[in-house]
Chains A and B, each alone.
Chain A
Amino acid sequence: MPQAVVEVSGLVKRYGERNVVDGVDLTIEPGECFGLLGPNGAGKTTTLRMLLGLTPPSGGQIRVLGHPIPAEARIMRTRVGVVPQFDNLDPDFTVRENLATYGSYFGLRGRELERRIEQLLEFAQLADRGDAPIQTLSGGMKRRLTLARALINRPELLVLDEPTTGLDPQARQHIWERLRRLLGDGRSLILTTHYMEEAERLCDRIAIIDHGRVQACDSPRGLIRTHIEPHVVELHGAVDPTWLAGAQSASGVRLERVGETVFLYGFEREPLLALADAAGTEYLYRPANLEDVFLKLTGRELRD
């Protein structure tokens, strides 16, 4: 069996009295796209920083591509690409100069680096923008350039912290298509995201993290199958209180309220729809999705 890309056991990060990461175990296999999902402050970014050797763990063991971390973090990073949460492209350089300079941090130079840059400009669909200053790029182009930059060293593992946050749907599709291509090339990916749809489409497996712990870890379908009722009805607008009282005690139905919206979850479709029909307001029927699982496992209260 090939060596795991990431092996983490008992990972802890403590700030003061608080364990931001509180006993995380993860194994990521080669060629896998692995998603870390969690509310703000759940410990996702801290976990990634520990994997990259950018902050030492307070406890636990980390191996990335076989290297013990943080002891061999710098050597490990020669084989890994990183797409940070916030763009940190060099504003004083053009597109091509950004790639060349970042390549120089890996000790890359000469014809080989030039050839690699041309390939990456092609890959990021920036071939005609090679000499453009960074300020003239759109948000989507900057993100594509950051992704291209992370590939300069032909990494075996790509770590992406919220790769599509703030992008419009077109730009996001673009990034997804490129990430799929990278997976097709046999690279491994770890990504964090707040977009359930992104995780559902891209990830082979997902760990839902909250309070510094892995709450659940499985394929997107597996998570939906084991953690949530398959049928969902959403009722929008004011509902009749008598109906609500009845619905709350109806057997085989789980009810959740968020402001004006009522969610009904059930294992059988027909009784759920019959109940919804009786409410007398507009409703939407849909199969359960990852967001339902996420909210069930991490709660509905706001995290700031």
Chain B
Amino acid sequence: MSEHTEILSATAAAAGERWRPSLRFLAVWRRHFLVWRKLLWSAIIGNFGEPLFYLLALGYGLGRFVGELEGLPYLVFLASGTVCSSAMMAAAFEATFSAYTRLDYQQTWMAMLTAPLAVEDVVLGEVVWAATKASFAAVPILLVAALLGLTAGWGALWVVPLVLLTALCFAALAMCVTVVARSYDYFTYLITLLLTPMMLLSGVFFPLSELPAALQGVVWLLPLAHAVALIRPLMTGGELGHVLLHLAVLAGYTVVAFGLAVRLARRRLMS
């Protein structure tokens, strides 16, 4: 008998719906965009204002004592780092606290799943949206840096797609935590234990080369250092190296994290 039911459940699982990439996730993205537009000012102040204040205060204040790092005035060094860290943090916050509110408290995901949307569409919509919102935060910092004369020419425009990739990467990683979270406390662990140390050690505030060799090795296994390694030279006119490697790490993390987030989301929502 148990063998018989095993076979039945195997067939049923095999008959599960196949997902093919489609543009349906745009409806999910659009819903989040429309809400964001309604709450525009608080979003702008939180996501763009805060890193900008840090940049200016630390860059001018601390910069006077620091002088130059890697041949760059500290404000210039920090501006490129801040673009990366704000992309990471804004994406992670949206993909955790806000996405979890929609998943759990508001049951927005469930409403979407009773419409003709699949879990993949909902998770993809969330990740792309979080990356979009993070770009709305990080790209204006690039703009301000350019207006202050802290960037080196039009090559800095390449930063825009890289900000999007960085934000996609961290949105997908954060989503893996969101879909297993049972409360908002989970995100405090993620941010305090993983993202904040990553931000402090990945070359945002001071050069990676200042770290002990072993720690450098660990930091290079994480994605943020690769984002900094691409974005800083593009913003400051420095020399780019290992471009494909850095891109591959960011893209690899994004794809693997997205796949994992979908699996975990299915387990939570569809069991």
- With A12-B8, A74-B17, A88-B108 as known contacts, state yes or no: A54 contacts B35, CB within 8 Å: no
Select A56's contact among B107, B116, B270, beta carbons within 8 Å: B270
Q: Using Cβ atoms and an 8 Å threshold, which residues of chain A touch B31?
A: 90, 101, 104
Contact of A55 with B271 in the complex, beta carbons under 8 Å: yes
Contact of B8 with A59 in the complex, beta carbons under 8 Å: yes
Contact of A90 with B108 in the complex, beta carbons under 8 Å: yes
Minimum Cβ distance to chain B for residue A185 (Å):
21
Contact of B114 with A54 in the complex, beta carbons under 8 Å: yes
A: interface residue count bin: 35 or more
A248 at the interface (CB under 8 A from B): no
Minimum Cβ distance to chain B for residue A34 (Å):
18
A195 at the interface (CB under 8 A from B): no
Minimum Cβ distance to chain B for residue A107 (Å):
7
Q: Is the interface of B mostly helix, strand, loop or mixed?
A: helix
* A1-16 contact mask (Cβ, 8 Å, vs B): 1 or 0: 0000000000010110
Minimum Cβ distance to chain A for residue B94 (Å):
14
Minimum Cβ distance to chain A for residue B21 (Å):
14
Q: Using Cβ atoms and an 8 Å threshold, which residues of chain B touch A71?
A: 15-17
Minimum Cβ distance to chain A for residue B168 (Å):
23
A84 at the interface (CB under 8 A from B): yes
Instruction: Report how many A-B pairs have Cβ atoms within 8 Å.
Output: 90
B44 at the interface (CB under 8 A from A): no
* A76-102 contact mask (Cβ, 8 Å, vs B): 1 or 0: 011000101010111111000100011
A119 at the interface (CB under 8 A from B): no
Q: Using Cβ atoms and an 8 Å threshold, which residues of chain A touch B192?
A: none
Minimum Cβ distance to chain B for residue A53 (Å):
7
Contact of A92 with B114 in the complex, beta carbons under 8 Å: no
Residue of A14, A68, A74, A77 ringed by the most chain B CB atoms within 10 A: A74
Contact of A77 with B116 in the complex, beta carbons under 8 Å: yes
**In whole angstroms, how far apart are the Cα atoms of A104 and B107 in the complex?**
17
New A-B pairs, 4, CB < 8 Å, besides A74-B118, A107-B27: A84-B107, A90-B106, A91-B106, A102-B111
15 A-B pairs (CB sep. < 8 Å): A12-B8, A52-B114, A56-B13, A71-B15, A74-B116, A77-B114, A84-B107, A86-B107, A88-B106, A88-B107, A90-B106, A90-B108, A92-B39, A93-B34, A104-B27
